[in-house]
Amino acid sequence: MEMTLMSPDGWRDYELIDSGGGRKLERFGAVVVARPEPQALWATSLPEAEWEARAEAIFRKNKGSEDRGEWLLKRGTPQQWFIGYRNPAGLNLKMRLGLTSFKHVGIFPEQAANWDYIYDAVRRLRAGGVIRPAVLNLFAYTGGASLAACAGGAEVTHVDSVRQTVTWSRENMEASGLEGVRWVVEDAMKFVRREVRRGRRYHGIILDPPSYGRGTEGEKWVLEEQIGEMLSLCAELLEERGCFVVLNLYSMGLSALLARTLADSVFPQLARADAVAEQGELYVTDSFGKRLPLGVFFRFRE
């Protein structure tokens, strides 16, 4: 299978202005932020003075911390604001952003390519006769993928172990003029095990697991140790026909080929002639043409 590169080109409310030196300079709507990016190993294109002049919020790590820090804000910079996402097929979302102590702002822009895919996959299922496709979004964060599925006409179950991010997702749903998402605050592994026991089935499953994490009761998640079991359980939940899967991996060192091989080992649908599969890298191109890799993906529909 050929490798596919995916980038959220043409998004008016997002721009990667520059990258390099372990950082990235981004515009979300009207707000420009500078934050760490370990994958940006090259030199920046803009001088440091230009970064300082443009950035309205700059993330600085706390001393001795791997991921926590604080934002240094220019006067008048909002702590929260909204941006929109619209694609030519009719997907139209509105999402609240915020400056968190983990350097995140509430969305991962490279995921826009997957939102398009999910929206299209749900609409295809409906055109094929599935009136209300059931879609499960695991490790769902602030819900961009959940909203894309909902906008396409799916019955969505959104699972995340952090109550605050589920509340954030609900705000995004309401801002987007959508309704009907089922919100679940629970450890993802515990939830899928219970769904398997219940005999539940889903037409679409989306997985966006972190490298490490904790469940609602302190359950430990280590991607390399548990992704195999998680995918095996998801295979039991997936409809045998008329289905799709989207898998994202962010851990440095994990490849799209690894994601494909894992999927091949558990999803029998991939052996069918009508299965359409893609694997590759998610990336964003800065305004100087440098392509910043931000994760790998594997996805298929049948």
Segment 173-196, tens digit of pLDDT: 999 999 999 999 999 999 999 999
What percent of the chain has pLDDT above 90? Answer: 86
Is the pLDDT score of 4 beyond 80? no
Model pLDDT, residue 2:
60
Residue 22: pLDDT band with limits 50, 70, 90: very high
Residue 60: pLDDT band with limits 50, 70, 90: very high
CA–CA distance, 212 with 197 (Å, rounded to integer) = 26
CA–CA distance, 169 with 240 (Å, rounded to integer) = 29
Residue 201: pLDDT band with limits 50, 70, 90: very high
Segment 102-151, tens digit of pLDDT: 999 999 999 999 999 999 999 999 999 999 999 999 999 999 999 999 99
Residue whose structure tokens are 């799709």: 244
Which residue(s) pair with 133 in the sheet?
A: none
Residue type at position 60: R
CA–CA distance, 117 with 277 (Å, rounded to integer) = 12
173: containing domain: 107-301
Handedness of CA 112, 121, 87, 176 (dihedral sign): negative
Counting beta carbons within 10 angstroms of the beta carbon of residue 45, is it exposed (0 to 12), middle (13 to 18) or buried (19 or more)? middle
Query: For residue 232, what is the DSSP state?
Result: H
CA–CA distance, 113 with 134 (Å, rounded to integer) = 21
Contact 235, 243 (CB under 8 A): no
Model pLDDT, residue 1:
55
- Whether 199 and 295 share a structural domain: yes
Model pLDDT, residue 252:
62
Please report whether residue 90 resides in a domain. Answer: no
Task: Output the CA torsion 286→290→294→297 (10° steps).
Answer: 110
- Whether 128 and 244 share a structural domain: yes
- Whether 118 and 261 share a structural domain: yes
Residue bearing the bigger pLDDT, 273 or 21: 21
- Whether 190 and 270 share a structural domain: yes
Residue 3: pLDDT band with limits 50, 70, 90: low
Is the pLDDT score of 169 beyond 90? yes
Model pLDDT, residue 150:
98
Please report whether residue 101 resides in a domain. Answer: no
Segment 267-287, tens digit of pLDDT: 999 999 899 999 999 999 999
- When the pLDDT of each residue in the chain is averaged and rounded to a whole number, the result is 94
- Whether 175 and 285 share a structural domain: yes
Segment 243-270, tens digit of pLDDT: 999 999 987 678 899 999 999 999 999 9
- Whether 75 and 132 share a structural domain: no
Looking at the structure of the chain, the number of domains it has is 2
The two three-digit tokens of residue 241, written as one number: 């026909």
- Whether 161 and 52 share a structural domain: no
Model pLDDT, residue 41:
97
Is the pLDDT score of 80 beyond 90? yes
Please report whether residue 249 resides in a domain. Answer: yes
- Whether 117 and 254 share a structural domain: yes
Write the CB contacts of 277 (distance below 8 Å, at least 6 apart in sequence).
1, 260, 263, 270, 298, 299, 300
Handedness of CA 52, 282, 156, 234 (dihedral sign): negative
Please report whether residue 96 resides in a domain. Answer: no
Q: CA nearest 277: which of 287, 262, 291?
A: 262
- Whether 117 and 246 share a structural domain: yes
Mean pLDDT calculated for residue range 185-212? 95
What CATH number is given to the structural domain containing 167? 3.40.50.150
pTM of the predicted structure, to 2 decimals: 0.95
Segment 83-103, tens digit of pLDDT: 999 999 999 999 999 999 999
- Whether 43 and 141 share a structural domain: no
Model pLDDT, residue 139:
96
